[in-house]
Structure 1
């Protein structure tokens, strides 16, 4: 009689439990356990900490948290020390140890965790609290990458790189997570009511953020491009999957060394491994080359940052798989350009021009300037200035008539402030003090008072040398 239920030994159950832990997490857990073991060995203590009871382990951890150093003897960063504690906790809870206590929340480890807090505060005070986030791919680098020969879809390697880059970017994939396990059925092509096609993830997967309790399928959509049909991501995905080796079910396969465009298959019966996929963007960064060497996680950062410009956090989380808005917020990077604009906003507020985010970047040429004279004519509201043939960033110059409170405006093109200031030493000595002008006979240099630049008032207050 055929049995209904399966049978597993204790060892088989433990092996199954191990397989549910991501490879990189297992690797980190083991590495941190060995670091703690080396610390105990250096201190002349027992190294089999897996067999310690809670009291003995807590005492050892209290000293370890404050004594921990890198292989070079340098203090860890706060984030690294916290990761070591979490890794040790996972290590002890995993097979074959299966500890039931928790070194982070357990009451037996209260004193040890107070030592941890002290160590973190000290590191923070010593400048070890900063975190080096994965950089977002700059707009220039992203365009350069997609226009490079390494992503041209007319060759097996170029088609492979372009489709993989699209999958990583459109779906905001986490670095190397499960890429070596993807198959030809991981993604499918769907159709919107208007007939537009799109690629979506059709199979559920176990990820770092979503374990056994996750019910909803986390996926974005990669819609077709009907305008640029040659580079349409849906068409290229179809082409790529149609050229995969039929004898292998894996999605990412090595390209053949020799091929013809009309060949049925462009790829070998040889799937790409974890290490090869992990170096995807790093290798492309060096080959193209890009302005810096990026890693695969930068693609996720870039995708989330792009979506952050126009979509809400819950919408982005449905694509990226983040479990909380606080973790997603770490990906909302502020660019240097945006920081410059914020800095300019503060500067403009200081000088009373809070409505302008920054000075205009366009240049204008000086069109009309009055002839040289020594005074301001209140009847015509014209100021006598030495004619300039220089570049200033301004549409007009306003000189205030101090008696009448009126401004004389002069249209300018191609106006460069640096050239403006450089001309002051060569000005002829023609400025004579006048009752109704702001020119004085005191020695000094020309200064801005209130400029009129693209709607912002600027007055030139000239001081005679």
Structure 2
């Protein structure tokens, strides 16, 4: 009887060659730098543009191709030189029309020109003198639109004070319901941080925010990271942390934004990967018996993008507002409160005063007051305040006696400085 015995003296190496290599050859040093294919590099380069910018460029090129085909211009897009492209753009700017055969809006013309500029970035059509003729035609087209009264473009309208009050009082944003709670949190975040439209909403997570206390013990919420926005992409920007924004607690307010935020997070799954979640599809009475009100399903970009429009409808507002209206509202409210431009820019993240100006527009109350001033009748057809010149000495001092009784109507002082004392005499 034979008993075969196998001896594996090399163990896990199986043979002498592998054993020798493991003992005496130095293993290859791990690569420090990543290997990338040409396709991967091209994708990284392409990602320098935002998604909306890519879409705008794709739309422009689609319109431009249709224009070339209709005009029987057979030149391929990449075969144009400076002279040929300038000649074609002269005709394009002057004759391009939308799908209904009508002229585009001023904003759409600017978007078309911007898309052409990005596609032909090697030519620099904005400043290259070779494109002077086409640029002159473009300017002439816009001038004609404005002269004919067809420039009806306007910035995102701020929410009126009356509609703001409707939102605050509406049961549609009640923190006692799951749907109302997530709406309230979204509304507070957009308004206090003056966020731009749908920018970054889908990317927010519970970890995107931190709950802190200031030196006086007041609670506030702030972003935990430096968000990349349209205006802030440079990681070396020394002011990035300034633009994170703060949402302070309001003790005594049943809708305190900090307490509302904390309540919302406590009713979300602990492993949620997004900040804004859809409520569990059950009656509120059933949810009230549970510790979790929200599913793990995140709200999508389109759903979040129409959030303010939905709030406008369910709250019965005077008009349909957009998400970006909250950014305009923040600027209006801060400006009306007397904040300086540089302070408002810290909240909104604007980099220059010029871009901030487009967000401010007078309210109907402002326009009414101005109209009364210009009419010379005053808000309630009452005479203006009586100014009594100061006593001798020629100091230029003065005294203003103004009746502030209910029958006298409102009294306004604007763009004035008080040097001295202000005294209120109340007579019952």
Cα distance in 2 between the residues matched to 1:286 and 1:46 = 49
Give the aligned partner of residue 299 of structure 1: 326
The alpha-carbon deviation at position 194 of structure 1 amounts to: 0.6
Q: Deviations over 1:232-283 (max 9, x none)?
A: 1001111112222233311111111125335332211211111010110111
Cα distance in 2 between the residues matched to 1:341 and 1:150 = 33
Q: Does 1:166 align with 2:188?
A: yes
Give the TM-score normalised by the residue count of structure 1. Answer: 0.71
Give the aligned partner of residue 157 of structure 1: 179
Give the aligned partner of residue 279 of structure 1: 306
The 5-angstrom pairing of residues 255-266 of structure 1 reads: 255-258=279-282, 259-261=286-288, 263-266=290-293
Give the aligned partner of residue 268 of structure 2: 244
Distance 1:28 1:183, change over 3 A: same
The 5-angstrom pairing of residues 433-452 of structure 1 reads: none
Task: Assess if the C-alpha contact under 8 Å between 2:211 and 2:222 holds in 1.
Answer: yes
Q: Does 1:41 align with 2:62?
A: no
Task: Assess if the C-alpha contact under 8 Å between 1:305 and 1:332 holds in 2.
Answer: yes
Q: Does 1:224 align with 2:249?
A: yes
The alpha-carbon deviation at position 24 of structure 1 amounts to: 2.0
Q: Deviations over 1:294-338 (max 9, x none)?
A: 111111111111011221111111111112101101111101221
Q: Deviations over 1:376-423 (max 9, x none)?
A: xxxxxxxxxxxxxxxxx9xxxxxxxxxxxxxxxxxxx989xxxxxxxx
Q: Any idea what SS the aligned residue of 1:179 has?
A: coil
Which structure has more relative contact order (CA 8 Å, sep 6+)? It is 2
Q: Does 1:32 align with 2:60?
A: yes
Give the aligned partner of residue 226 of structure 2: 204
The alpha-carbon deviation at position 213 of structure 1 amounts to: 5.8
CA root-mean-square deviation: 2.3
Alignment counterpart, residue 123 of structure 1, candidates 138, 142, 145:
145
Task: Assess if the C-alpha contact under 8 Å between 1:219 and 1:318 holds in 2.
Answer: no
Cα distance in 1 between the residues matched to 2:79 and 2:195 = 39
Cα distance in 1 between the residues matched to 2:379 and 2:168 = 32
Structure 2: stretches of 5+ with no match in the other structure: 1-28, 384-405, 409-428
Give the aligned partner of residue 30 of structure 2: 2
Q: Does 1:335 align with 2:363?
A: yes
Worse overlay, 211-220 or 302-311: 211-220
Cα distance in 2 between the residues matched to 1:105 and 1:187 = 43
Task: State the 4+ residue runs in structure 1 displaced beyond 6 angstroms.
Answer: none
Q: Any idea what SS the aligned residue of 2:210 has?
A: strand
Task: Assess if the C-alpha contact under 8 Å between 1:41 and 1:47 holds in 2.
Answer: no
Task: Assess if the C-alpha contact under 8 Å between 1:187 and 1:199 holds in 2.
Answer: yes
Cα distance in 2 between the residues matched to 1:213 and 1:112 = 37
Give the aligned partner of residue 112 of structure 1: 134
Q: Deviations over 1:73-123 (max 9, x none)?
A: 222232321222112222x16xxxxx4221212232222112112222222
Task: Assess if the C-alpha contact under 8 Å between 2:170 and 2:315 holds in 1.
Answer: yes
The 5-angstrom pairing of residues 321-360 of structure 1 reads: 321-348=349-376, 357-359=378-380
Cα distance in 2 between the residues matched to 1:168 and 1:224 = 16
Cα distance in 2 between the residues matched to 1:113 and 1:66 = 11
Cα distance in 2 between the residues matched to 1:282 and 1:163 = 16
Distance 1:277 1:106, change over 3 A: same
Structure 1: stretches of 5+ with no match in the other structure: 94-98, 349-355, 362-392, 394-412, 416-465
Give the aligned partner of residue 102 of structure 1: 124
Q: Any idea what SS the aligned residue of 1:326 has?
A: helix
Between Structure 1 and Structure 2, which shows a larger proportion of helix residues?
Answer: 2
Cα distance in 1 between the residues matched to 2:230 and 2:77 = 27
Cα distance in 2 between the residues matched to 1:20 and 1:42 = 33
Task: Assess if the C-alpha contact under 8 Å between 2:249 and 2:259 holds in 1.
Answer: yes
Cα distance in 1 between the residues matched to 2:294 and 2:40 = 36
Give the aligned partner of residue 376 of structure 1: none
Give the aligned partner of residue 133 of structure 1: 155
The alpha-carbon deviation at position 46 of structure 1 amounts to: 2.7
How many positions carry a matched residue from both structures? 352
